A and B are shown apart, each in its own frame.
Chain A
Amino acid sequence: EVQLVESGGGLVQPGGSLRLSCTASGFTFSTSWMTWVRQAPGKGLEWVANIKGDGSEKDSVASVRGRFTISRDNAKNSLYLQMSNLRAEDTAVYYCATLRGAADTRFFDYWGQGTLVTVSS
């Protein structure tokens, strides 16, 4: 059974930093693309970042580029999101998910339960 468990959320002041973790099990983590998606309270979903299985390719939405870094440790079956210079608008539930695809499709299939990040003074 695929399981994704996020941790590391909490309350942080504007300008502060936080590292989110996502621990994976039930599938071959090291060959799987992974992604972070966030959802501000009462709002819609926003893709944040992707990383390839071996970590060689990464991409992120412009609003977090230069502040957030996606990474992974395949030996620990773990995905990370290092967040710095946090702003109030980064307040959201952060989900990790698996990203799978083929020639004509690409989708987020398994999701964690999410971890809440609150940026406030």
Chain B
Amino acid sequence: DIQMTQSPSSLSASVGDRVTITCRASQIINTFLNWYQQKPGKPPKLLMHAPSSLQSGVPSRFSGSGSGTDFTLTISSLQAEDFATYYCLQTHKTPYTFGQGTKLEIK
């Protein structure tokens, strides 16, 4: 199975900060990498796929990059509504696997 190692597991930041979350795959997954945002009690929301394609309706302050095994999600200027948990997901091969999540908290 492909292991997805996401870091950091938690992050404290302030509104207006630039933050970066990384995800590393245990083998090459080309561009089959997605990013999701999840708020408590809600389903995950797709932010990015491919991994730099912004999902419709997602603010442009979110961006993604990477290919192969190393990927990043960047939020250019944090807004209050961005405080949530973020997950990466590889869909290169089944079993599809998620990273363990990054909880983004208000400093």
A-to-B contact residues, CB < 8 Å: 37, 44-47, 50, 59, 61-62, 95, 97, 101, 104-109, 111-114
Contact = CB atoms under 8 A, between A and B. Distances in A.
Contacts of B76: none
Contacts of A106: 32, 49, 91
A112 B95 contact: no
Nearest to A35: B96
B43 A114 contact: yes
Interface string B92-104: 0011111111000
Contacts of A59: 94-95
A111 B30 CA distance: 25
Contact of A47 (B49, B53, B98): B98
B85 to A, nearest CB: 9
Given A50-B96, A95-B43, 20 more contacts: A44-B100, A44-B101, A45-B36, A45-B38, A45-B89, A47-B89, A47-B95, A47-B98, A50-B94, A59-B94, A59-B95, A105-B32, A105-B91, A106-B91, A107-B34, A107-B50, A108-B36, A111-B44, A111-B45, A112-B43
B56 to A, nearest CB: 9
Given A104-B31, A106-B91, A47 B46 contact: no
9 contacts: A37-B44, A45-B38, A47-B94, A59-B95, A95-B44, A105-B49, A106-B91, A107-B49, A113-B42
B55 interface: yes
A106 B31 CA distance: 9
Contact of B96 (A47, A62, A112, A114): A47
A61 B49 contact: no
B98 A44 contact: yes
B31 A62 contact: no
